[in-house]
Chains A and B, each alone.
Chain A
Amino acid sequence: MARKVLEVNDLTIKFGGVTALNGVTIHVDEAEIAALIGPNGAGKTTIFNVVTGYYAPSSGNFLLDGKSLVGQRPHAIARQGLSRTFQNIRLFGDMTALENVSTAADGLNKSGLIGSLFGSPRSRRDEFNSRKKAESLLQFIGLEHRAGQLARNLPYGDQRRLEIARALALNPKVLLLDEPAAGFNPQEKSELGQLIRKIREVGHSILLIEHDMSLVMDVSDRVMVLDFGNKIADGKPREIQRDQRVIDAYLGVADHDS
Chain B
Amino acid sequence: MKKILVLFNPRDRFGDWWDRATSLQRGMFRLVLIGLFFALPFINNPVIDTPETSFESVLFYPLVMFAIMAVGLNVVVGKSGILDLGYVAFFAIGAYTQAVFGIFTDLNFWLVLLLGMGFAMLAGILLGVPALRLRGDYLAIITLGFGEIVRIIAVNTEAIGGAAGLTGIPSPPPILGMEFSVQDLRPYYWLSLTILLLVLWGIVRLSHRKPGRAWEAIREDEDVAAFMGVQTFRYKLWAFVIGGAIGGAAGVIYASQILSIEPKMFELNLSIMILACVVFGGMGNIWGVIFGAVLLGYLPEKLRFLTDYRILIFGILMVVMMNLRPNGLIPRKKREVILEKI
Mark A residues whose CB is within 8 Å of B: 52, 54, 73-75, 78-79, 83-84, 86, 90-96, 99, 102-104, 106-109, 111, 113, 116-117, 119, 123, 126-127, 130, 145-150, 153, 166-167, 169-170
Contacts and interface: CB of A to CB of B under 8 A. Distances in A.
Contacts, number: 117
A103 B217 contact: yes
A52 B342 CA distance: 37
A170 to B, nearest CB: 5
Contacts of B225: 92, 103
Q: Which of B209, B232, B342 has the most CB of A within 10 A?
A: B209
Interface in B211-236: 211, 213-214, 216-217, 219-221, 223-232, 235
Given A116-B206, A123-B209, A123-B210, A108 B229 contact: yes
Contacts of B235: 113
Given A106-B210, A117-B205, A78 B228 contact: yes
B227 A148 contact: no
- Name the prevailing secondary structure of the B interface residues: helix
B338 A148 contact: yes
A100 to B, nearest CB: 8
A108 B210 CA distance: 11
Contacts of B332: 94
Q: Which 6 pairs between the two chains have the least Cβ-Cβ distance?
A: A107-B229, A148-B337, A92-B220, A74-B226, A78-B229, A104-B228
Given A52-B227, A117-B206, A123-B209, A92 B337 contact: no
A64 B89 CA distance: 45
Contacts of B206: 113, 116-117
A79 B228 CA distance: 8
A99 B223 CA distance: 17
B177 interface: no
Contacts of B159: none
Contacts of A146: 339
Nearest to B224: A90
B333 interface: yes
Q: Which of A54, A73, A107, A123 has the most CB of B within 10 A?
A: A107
Nearest to B242: A113
B308 interface: no
B52 interface: no
Contact of B211 (A73, A74, A116): A116
Given A92-B220, A94-B216, A95-B217, A75 B202 contact: no
Given A74-B227, A103-B217, A127-B210, 15 more contacts: A75-B226, A75-B228, A92-B225, A93-B220, A94-B219, A102-B213, A113-B238, A116-B206, A116-B211, A117-B202, A117-B211, A147-B339, A149-B338, A150-B336, A153-B336
B106 interface: no
A103 B226 contact: no
A54 B230 contact: no
Contacts of A90: 221, 223-224
Nearest to A116: B209
A74 B230 CA distance: 9
25 contacts: A73-B226, A74-B223, A75-B228, A78-B226, A79-B229, A86-B224, A90-B223, A91-B220, A92-B216, A93-B220, A95-B216, A95-B334, A96-B337, A99-B213, A103-B217, A103-B225, A106-B210, A113-B211, A113-B235, A116-B206, A117-B211, A145-B342, A153-B336, A169-B228, A170-B229
A40 B65 CA distance: 56
Given A95-B216, A113-B206, A113-B238, A145 B340 contact: yes
